[in-house]
Structure 1
Amino acid sequence: MTIPHREPQKPSFREASKEALLLVLRPLVRWLSVMRVRPDTLTVIGWSLALCSAVLFGLGYARIAGVVMLIGGLFDALDGAVARESNRMSSFGAFLDSTLDRLSESAIFVGLIFFYASMARPYEAMLAGAAMTFSLLTSYARARAEGLDIDCEVGLLERAGRIVLLSVFSIFGLPTVGLGLLAAGALVTTAQRILHVSRATSG
């Protein structure tokens, strides 16, 4: 019997971008591992920077908040890489990372909601609320799927993409545009994950 030849799958844009980022950060990851920096420490630093970003958003300093948010996102990328490099991966570390990620995202959106509400801009405040809801729903959909032993790393806009999107638009003074794109992208991602789980469980 002839076995059909299968072409190797090309990595998606998201996977290629992630690999490129890790390649750039490789020297820093190695240095942090040699210095025995704990991954949980990097997680907490990233969370602290996200809280600072939330306060800055609430005070109306969107450009500075975007920069701080982007730096915090860098620490969020480093913690897992350092854990793998130094062989310090743990169940608690993964749990702490996921929990603080949700808290960080929520705090940033609350900061934006506070700013828009204080400036009597109800529509923008509702947009920030929608972005927060869809972002958390995206994360919940993945967590619930993984609780069913279904890999769910699919979708248009994962957490790293949401961080980059909102921070970059904020740096350019357009946080509302970033929120709109984020809300739409997170909603699409949630739908994609629901469809993915539906297909995975229908067989």
Structure 2
Amino acid sequence: MAKIVSVPARALVSYVLNPAARFLLRLGVTPNMVTVAGTVGVLIGALGFGARGELFWGTVIVTAFALTDALDGTMARMRGPSGKFGALLDSSMDRLADAAVFGAVAYYLAGLGNPYGGLVAALICLAAGQVVSYVKARAQSLGLDADVGIAERLERLLIVGVGGLLGAAGLEWGLPATLWFLAVLSLITVLQRLVHAAKSDKAPAAGDPA
């Protein structure tokens, strides 16, 4: 099953970010600085605005700073090999930011009395999103391939962003509905990655007889 956001769309985002990446590198800004700044921005948007019910501004701020996840990667590729810590930092900050986003949504919906079971959906998204990332990382550490899935981090943030905008527009069902949709997609992604990793474990090594 293909990713929701296609490869051409991702390539377009990278193309748009290239000038910004080159500009920041010329200023001496490092990819790690962008990673940390982006995470701080997401925390402010999620906890400072979204959790308080200011869904429009929370969504705008989180989405804007979430783009730094692509920007720091573009900068790292332009700068060339520079050690493994950047990848570790990026992954750690992503998990922190994701937890803040879905934690803020859960807090907001709890205050509304859990409309349409949205609080439960938010908690499922929070847990499943962490497992999606864990399965890929753990599989890679074991030499397995789990780089598949219909709903990766970009897709998850876009979907919850749509829900935030629907909620900001006054549609009470909008945010819970998108969260339930995302919860299902996230669980499917976990299953996809586990199945793909299992298949890669059974595949013969290159040069070995089938």
Q: Measure how far apart 1:94 and its partner are.
A: 0.6
The structure 2 residue matched to 1:47, chosen from 39, 42, 56, is 39
Among 17, 25, 35, the residue aligned to 2:9 = 17
Are residue 79 (structure 1) and residue 94 (structure 2) matched?
no
User: Does residue 1:98 correspond to 2:91, yes or no?
Assistant: yes
Q: Which residue of 1 aligns with 2:109?
A: 116
Taking structure 1 as the reference length, the TM-score comes to 0.88
Aligned counterpart, 1:147: 141
- In the TM superposition, residue 15 of structure 1 has moved relative to its aligned partner by 2.4
For 1:31-70, list aligned pairs within 5 A: 31-55=23-47, 56-70=49-63
Q: Any unmatched runs of 5+ in structure 2? A: 168-173, 204-210
Whether contact under 8 Å (1:142, 1:153) holds in the other structure is yes
> Which residue of 2 is the match for residue 198 of structure 1?
198
| Contact 1:58 1:115 (C-alpha < 8 Å) held by counterparts | yes
Could you tell me how far apart the structure 1 residues matched to 2:97 and 2:23 are?
26
Q: Any conservation in 2 of the 1:64–1:171 contact (CA below 8 Å)? A: no
Q: 1:93 deviation in Å? A: 0.8
Does the 8 A contact of 1:62 with 1:175 survive in 2? Answer: no
TM-score normalized with structure 2 length: 0.85
Q: Secondary structure at the match of 1:131?
A: helix
Are 1:165 and 2:152 matched, yes or no? no
Contiguous gaps of at least 5 residues in structure 1: 1-11
Distance change (3 Å), C-alpha of 1:175 and 1:49: farther
Quick check: 36-45 or 79-88, which moved more? 79-88
Identity of aligned residues (%): 30
Alpha-carbon separation, structure 1, partners of 2:37 and 2:22: 18
Q: Residue deviations 1:130-187, cap 9 Å, x none?
A: 1111111111111111111223221101101111121133123232232122211111
Q: Report deviation, 1:21.
A: 1.0
CA shift, 1:13, in A, is 5.8
How far 1:67 moved relative to its partner?
0.6
RMSD: 1.9
Tell me how far 1:103 sits from its aligned partner.
0.8
What CA distance in whole angstroms lies between the structure 2 residues aligned with 1:96 and 1:149? 21
Distance 2:14 2:64 in 1: 15
**Deviation per CA, 1:62-96, whole angstroms, max 9, x where unpaired?**
11111111111111110111111122543111101
8 Å contact kept, 1:65–1:167: no
Q: What is the identity, as a one-letter code, of the residue corresponding to 1:69?
A: V
Equivalent residue letter for 1:190: V
Letter in 1 for 2:188: V
Code of the residue aligned with 2:121 in structure 1: it is L
Q: Which moved more, 1:125-134 or 1:48-57?
A: 48-57
Q: Secondary structure at the match of 1:172?
A: helix
